[in-house]
């Protein structure tokens, strides 16, 4: 039977729905053109005003006109009506038209669920914590909309009872959401529908290192990656070298990552303590994977290439979470003759002064470590200055840097040092990456920013393998500019685990508060990315394995899912369940009695009292007349507080039941 | 039991699941899980919403064919938990909406329209609800016993069968003139308000018309056999109209229907007694009943 229910749309419900649609469409502002969102919100407002003033909805022709204008707008903005974004716009247009004509309960509910849909689509464009919190909040509002409407609108709900009730519903659903999120096996379905994500900021390391490229990064406060140490063995600050790329083709001050270097550098043979890191990388275009020097292995779409470098095997479209194992020691991979030759190659046009300098060193010693010491001593003693703005060097600015201006940033020193060492016959390469990071005091992890970008040099030393040399360490601290990361990293008081950035001007406590809030928010975000965003099919399988579940067709998984489902259901049920009213014993027995008689063919009329019913019963069961009428008498007496006990009546009832059954049996046998 | 709104919700669910599977990251799955979990939780709430209720009605209800029949009910919530968005239905159609019931008894009426003349027993009242998400509908049945008398629609142009010319049309308004106070009767919409018992209204009682009678009353016999008409329903309609006219005119009238007869009388009880008698007459044939 079709039930006509609440067919008028109460103003209060309509306000809830329009608010829900409004809030649900707001996150689409970012992926879609704002003109579309404005027009959509305009239609909502239109309907709201009409309703407020008690006016009629626009007629068919007006709606057709609105639809046509909408189509034109979409066609004009996107040049097409198909495709994901135009499709979303079309959906918004249809919703707007529906809003303008909505009159029935069915249309209201349809729009409410469409509102859920457009709200939830915003999660496919962005998964930041902020968006998720917003979507959750609007989700609750939309739930409240439906609850308010189906609950009899204003007649049924006041805000005071609606809000707690909706929250109760949602809170009761939460454990189930968690259960499904953690345990329900995910399906791999890549490529079904790829949303065009807006291109994210993609600064970072590039394929070649030019003078000045790092100074640019040093001004960039964007996050490069975050990292935490699950084994709680964060290395000391001075060991926090994050390796990104290796450059083995020397051009003086400019080094390039030659494709050949991946062949000349063999398989790594690493030493030193093992450190496991969880790295959450912001999207960047370089293809590098940042990891603690030197990475050994990693999960995810990552391959190990020569020079202990991890590179991404897929283009990086979104934040990538990896678990990387590194060893802090040297790389003792033996060097082939060909590799040694390639790694000592220098350009021929470097100049005579350099040649003379290196020759003067070579006359003193042939030992690579001693040679390195001599070169670094020169950086320290020879009035070299560490600065973010060294100015522009000429095409072959190597000698200009080394002998004239002596101004440079980390890449100048690393490049120059590497080149000098190569000229001295020591295999050298330049490494780009990051150094240090900012520890978050709330939970123990590091934020590494683009400003922490750094370059250093590696020398191959017989018997020790590849050894890291950071030339900027040897610059006289008095000649380090105050605005450089190096100056911040090594403050005068020696506290080098925390870098103080002054981003706000104001009272100290405000700065502290601001810093605290920033760190707190960052910590929550990091955990969100680490545990929620990165919880994909692969991490789910990893998690299953820790529980001893090897395949998704495991009975253990089934037990967990079903058990969890039933538990949640049980808890919710226990909450909504209402104990039935305890019925009076006399009534229970009387109902039994009536059922018994009904079974034997005598149905009590709905409006029949016991006296009238008794009369009929006696006529229908003449053989049992005495018993039946006595029982009726007892019931009536008992109801008014007189006569027999419940046990006695129950006994009589049983006796009658037996006799009637006997009679029936006799009747059927005859 | 799922409602048609379930289709919308399932469609949204499928769409977000599809998108989640193709996206593959964690939060993309949350919408699908949230909708599904909410669905399950709402199912339990939906069922609880119609439980622990008690519906009672009067034993009888009456109305004219062609008009709306109101079946008054009392709905009691036996538990402290609020119930929302209830719809009461009867097997013979009609519905009433109750927005909210706390632990209390509320009164209302189920309006049923489109019923033909006759007697309709209502043996149960259904209480249903699609609360809270509109995707499930739960129903509980409450046995009651209510006999609904649908009187014939008062129609017909035949004059009152009076021997002495009483009950002129001008006199029809109401027998409010006379000497002796003869009680009150329901105020009928459209009537003159001159004789409304305003004192009673001020006490919060419904509007009643004070009636006065002259001692000398005529007796009119309304005989079904005397009514000419194409079919039984038409004849009964004429009878109903006469009864109404007599009652309004303050005349004493009796009824002769087939074998049965109701001795002349007057007043609200008599009026309904007569009309009920007409309602209870079996339909002539299926075709004439239509």
Q: What is the pLDDT of residues B2-59, one digit of tens each?
A: 888 888 889 989 988 888 887 777 788 888 899 999 998 898 889 888 888 889 888 8
CA distance B150 to B114: 10
- What are the pLDDT digits (tens) for A151-183? 877 677 777 888 888 998 899 999 999 998 888
Of A243-247, A644-648, B100-104, B198-202, give the lowest mean pLDDT range. Answer: A644-648
Mutation target to probe the B interface, by most B beta carbons within 10 A, among A6, A13, A87, A117 is A117
- What are the pLDDT digits (tens) for B228-249? 878 888 888 888 898 988 888 8
Name chain B contacts of A578, Cβ cutoff 8 Å.
48, 51-52, 78-79, 81
Residue A194 has pLDDT above 70, yes or no: no
* A164: closest CA of chain B, how far (Å): 12
Asked if A536 reaches chain B (Cβ–Cβ under 8 Å), the answer is: yes
Whether residues B27 and A123 touch (CB distance < 8 A) is answered with: yes
Of B28, B33, B48, the CB nearest to A578: B48
Q: What is the pLDDT of residue A3?
A: 40
Q: What is the ipTM of this complex?
A: 0.75
**A555 prior amide bond cis, ω within 30:** no
Answer with the residue of higher pLDDT: A243 or A634.
A243
* B89: closest CA of chain A, how far (Å): 8
Asked if A367 reaches chain B (Cβ–Cβ under 8 Å), the answer is: no
Whether residues A127 and B27 touch (CB distance < 8 A) is answered with: yes
Nearest CA in chain A to B19: A193
Name chain B contacts of A144, Cβ cutoff 8 Å.
none
Residue A299 has pLDDT above 70, yes or no: yes
Q: How confident is the model at residue B287 (pLDDT cuts 50, 70, 90)?
A: very low
Q: What is the pLDDT of residue B126?
A: 92
Q: Tell the residue number behind the tokens 């006696």, with chain if given.
A: A618
**For the residues A574-582, what does the mean pLDDT come to?**
71
Q: Tell the residue number behind the tokens 């204008």, with chain if given.
A: A69
Answer with the residue of higher pLDDT: A414 or B80.
A414
Q: Of chain A residues 557-576, which have a CB less than 8 A from chain B?
A: 565, 568-569, 572-573, 576
**For the residues A544-549, what does the mean pLDDT come to?**
83
Asked if B5 reaches chain A (Cβ–Cβ under 8 Å), the answer is: yes
Residue B290 has pLDDT above 80, yes or no: no
- What are the pLDDT digits (tens) for A241-269? 998 888 888 888 888 876 654 544 556 77
CA distance A196 to A532: 22
Nearest CA in chain B to A121: B16
Residue B93 has pLDDT above 80, yes or no: yes
Q: Tell the residue number behind the tokens 């599809």, with chain if given.
A: B18
Name chain B contacts of A3, Cβ cutoff 8 Å.
87, 89, 95, 128
Whether residues A121 and B78 touch (CB distance < 8 A) is answered with: no
The segment with the largest mean pLDDT, out of A354-363, A473-482, A533-542, is A354-363
Mutation target to probe the B interface, by most B beta carbons within 10 A, among A8, A113, A172, A314 is A113
Q: In 10 A of CB A247, how many CB atoms?
A: 27
Number of Cβ pairs closer than 8 Å across A and B? 200
Q: How confident is the model at residue A303 (pLDDT cuts 50, 70, 90)?
A: confident
- What are the pLDDT digits (tens) for B265-286? 888 889 999 998 888 888 775 4
Asked if B18 reaches chain A (Cβ–Cβ under 8 Å), the answer is: yes
Asked if B36 reaches chain A (Cβ–Cβ under 8 Å), the answer is: yes
Residues contacting residue A428 through CB under 8 Å, at least 6 positions apart: A250, A343, A344, A417, A418, A419, A421, A422, A457, A458, A459, A460
Residue B1 has pLDDT above 60, yes or no: yes
Asked if B53 reaches chain A (Cβ–Cβ under 8 Å), the answer is: no
What Å distances lie between residue A173 and A160, A176, A383, A498, B34, CA to CA?
Answer: 21, 5, 68, 42, 7
Of A177-191, A196-210, A376-390, give the lowest mean pLDDT range. Answer: A196-210
CA distance A585 to A487: 89
Q: How confident is the model at residue A491 (pLDDT cuts 50, 70, 90)?
A: very low
Answer with the residue of higher pLDDT: A55 or A147.
A147
Name chain A contacts of B16, Cβ cutoff 8 Å.
117, 120-121
Whether residues A152 and B28 touch (CB distance < 8 A) is answered with: no
Q: DSSP code of A405?
A: I
Of A212-216, A258-262, A415-419, give the lowest mean pLDDT range. Answer: A258-262
Residue A495 has pLDDT above 50, yes or no: no
Nearest CA in chain A to B39: A173
Averaged pLDDT score across all residues of chain B: 82
Whether residues A536 and B26 touch (CB distance < 8 A) is answered with: yes
Whether residues B24 and A191 touch (CB distance < 8 A) is answered with: no
Whether residues B84 and A156 touch (CB distance < 8 A) is answered with: yes
Answer with the residue of higher pLDDT: A667 or A272.
A272
Q: Tell the residue number behind the tokens 């109902």, with chain if given.
A: A591
What Å distances lie between residue A118 and A90, A109, A125, A196, CA to CA?
Answer: 12, 14, 12, 17
Q: What is the pLDDT of residue B51?
A: 86
- What are the pLDDT digits (tens) for B142-187? 988 889 999 998 888 888 876 544 444 434 444 555 556 667 777 7
Q: What is the pLDDT of residue A496?
A: 37
Whether residues A607 and B99 touch (CB distance < 8 A) is answered with: no
CA distance A227 to A453: 15
Of A204-208, A308-312, A525-529, give the lowest mean pLDDT range. Answer: A204-208
Q: How confident is the model at residue A1 (pLDDT cuts 50, 70, 90)?
A: very low
**For the residues A493-513, what does the mean pLDDT come to?**
56
- What are the pLDDT digits (tens) for A7-19? 467 888 888 999 9
Give the 3-state secondary structure of residue A176: helix
Whether residues A117 and B4 touch (CB distance < 8 A) is answered with: no
Whether residues A139 and B34 touch (CB distance < 8 A) is answered with: yes
Nearest in space to A360 (alpha carbons), one of A345, A374, A350, A346: A374
Q: What is the pLDDT of residue A196?
A: 46
Q: Tell the residue number behind the tokens 């495709």, with chain if given.
A: A83
């Amino acid at each position: 039977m079709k039930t006509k229910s609440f067919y008028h749309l109460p103003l209060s419900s309509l306000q809830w729905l329009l608010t829900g649609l409004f809030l649900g469409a707001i996150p689409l502002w970012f992926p879609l053109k704002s003109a579309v969102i404005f027009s959509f919100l305009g239609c909502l407002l239109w309907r709201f005003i009409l309703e407020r003033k008690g006016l009629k909805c626009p007629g068919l022709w007006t709606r057709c006109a609105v639809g046509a204008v909408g189509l034109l707008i979409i066609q004009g903005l996107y040049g097409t009506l198909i495709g994901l974004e135009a499709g979303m716009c079309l959906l918004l247009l249809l919703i707007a038209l529906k809003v303008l004509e909505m009159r029935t309960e069915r249309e209201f509910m349809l729009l409410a669920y469409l509102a859920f849909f457009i709200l939830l689509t915003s999660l496919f464009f962005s998964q930041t914590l902020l968006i998720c919190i917003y979507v959750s909040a609007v989700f609750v509002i939309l739930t409240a909309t439906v609850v308010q409407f189906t609950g009899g609108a204003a007649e049924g709900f006041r805000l005071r009872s609606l809000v707690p009730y909706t929250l109760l519903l949602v809170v009761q659903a939460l454990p189930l959401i968690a259960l499904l999120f953690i345990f329900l096996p995910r399906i791999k379905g890549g490529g079904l529908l790829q949303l065009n994500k807006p291109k994210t900021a993609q600064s970072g390391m590039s394929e070649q290192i030019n003078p000045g490229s790092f100074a640019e990064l040093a001004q960039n406060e964007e996050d490069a990656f975050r990292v935490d140490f699950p084994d709680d063995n964060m290395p000391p600050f001075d060991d926090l070298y994050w390796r990104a790329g290796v450059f083995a083709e020397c051009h003086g001050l400019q080094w390039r990552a030659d494709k050949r270097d991946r062949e000349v550098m063999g398989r790594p043979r690493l030493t030193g303590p093992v450190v496991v890191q969880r790295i959450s990388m912001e999207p960047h275009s370089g293809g590098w994977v940042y990891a603690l020097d030197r990475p050994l292995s990693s999960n995810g779409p990552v391959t190990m290439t020569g020079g202990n470098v991890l590179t991404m095997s897929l283009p990086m479209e979104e934040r990538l979470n990896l678990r990387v194992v590194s060893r802090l020691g040297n790389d003792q991979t033996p060097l082939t003759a060909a590799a040694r030759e390639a790694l000592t190659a220098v350009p021929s046009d470097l100049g005579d002064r350099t040649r003379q300098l290196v020759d003067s060193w070579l006359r003193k010693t042939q030992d690579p470590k001693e040679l390195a010491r001599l070169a670094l001593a020169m950086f320290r003693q020879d009035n070299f200055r560490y600065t973010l703005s060294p100015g522009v060097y000429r095409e072959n600015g190597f000698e200009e840097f080394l002998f004239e201006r002596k101004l440079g940033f980390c890449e100048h020193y690393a490049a120059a040092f590497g080149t000098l060492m190569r000229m001295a016959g020591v295999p050298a390469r330049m490494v780009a990456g990051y150094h240090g990071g900012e520890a978050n005091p709330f939970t123990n992890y590091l934020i590494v920013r683009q400003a922490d970008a750094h370059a250093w040099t590696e020398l191959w030393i017989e018997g020790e393998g590849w050894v890291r040399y950071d030339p900027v360490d040897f610059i006289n601290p008095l000649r380090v500019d105050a605005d450089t990361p190096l100056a911040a990293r090594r403050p005068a008081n020696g506290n080098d685990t925390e870098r103080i950035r002054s981003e706000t001007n104001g009272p100290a406590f405000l700065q502290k508060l601001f810093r605290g809030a920033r760190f707190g928010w960052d910590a929550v975000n990091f955990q969100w990315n680490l545990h929620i965003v990165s919880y994909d099919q692969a991490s789910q399988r990893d998690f299953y394995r820790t529980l001893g579940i090897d395949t998704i067709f495991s009975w253990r998984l089934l037990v967990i899912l079903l058990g969890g489902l039933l538990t949640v259901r049980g808890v919710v049920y226990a909450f909504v369940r209402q104990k039935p009213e305890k019925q009076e014993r006399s009534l229970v027995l009387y109902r039994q009695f009536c059922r018994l008689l009904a079974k034997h063919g005598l149905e009590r009329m709905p409006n029949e009292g016991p006296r009238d019913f008794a009369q009929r019963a006696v006529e229908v069961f003449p053989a049992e007349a005495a018993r039946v009428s006595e029982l009726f008498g007892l019931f009536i007496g008992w109801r008014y507080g007189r006569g027999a006990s419940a046990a006695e009546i129950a006994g009589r009832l049983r006796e009658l039941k037996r006799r009637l059954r006997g009679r029936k049996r006799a009747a059927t046998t005859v | 039991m799922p409602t048609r709104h379930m289709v919308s919700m399932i469609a949204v669910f499928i769409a977000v699941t599809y998108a989640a599977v193709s996206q593959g990251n964690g939060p993309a799955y949350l919408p699908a899980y949230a909708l599904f979990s909410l669905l399950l939780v709402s199912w339990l709430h939906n069922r609880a919403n119609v439980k622990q209720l008690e519906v009672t009605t009067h034993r009888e209800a009456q109305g004219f064919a062609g008009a709306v029949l109101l079946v008054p009910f009392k709905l009691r919530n036996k538990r402290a938990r609020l119930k929302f968005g209830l719809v009461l239905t009867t097997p013979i159609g009609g519905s009433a909406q109750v927005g909210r019931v706390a632990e209390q008894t509320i009164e209302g009426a189920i309006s049923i329209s489109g019923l033909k003349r006759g007697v309709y027993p209502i043996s149960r009242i259904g209480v249903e609800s699609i609360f809270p998400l509109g995707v499930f509908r739960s129903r509980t049945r409450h046995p009651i016993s209510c006999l609904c008398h649908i009187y014939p629609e008062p129609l017909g142009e035949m004059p009152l069968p009076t021997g002495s010319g009483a009950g002129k049309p001008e006199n029809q308004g109401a027998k409010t003139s006379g000497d002796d106070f003869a009680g009150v009767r329901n105020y009928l919409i459209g009537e003159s308000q001159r004789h409304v018992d305003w004192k009673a209204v001020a006490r919060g009682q419904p509007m009643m018309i004070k009636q006065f009678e002259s001692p000398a009353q005529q007796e009119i016999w309304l005989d079904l056999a005397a009514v000419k008409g194409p079919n039984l329903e038409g004849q009964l309609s004429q009878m109903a109209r006469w009864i109404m006219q007599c009652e309004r005119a303050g005349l004493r009238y009796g009824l002769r229907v087939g074998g049965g007869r109701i001795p002349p009388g007057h007043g609200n009880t008599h009026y309904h007694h007569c009309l009920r008698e007409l309602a209870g007459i079996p339909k002539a044939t299926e075709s004439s009943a239509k």
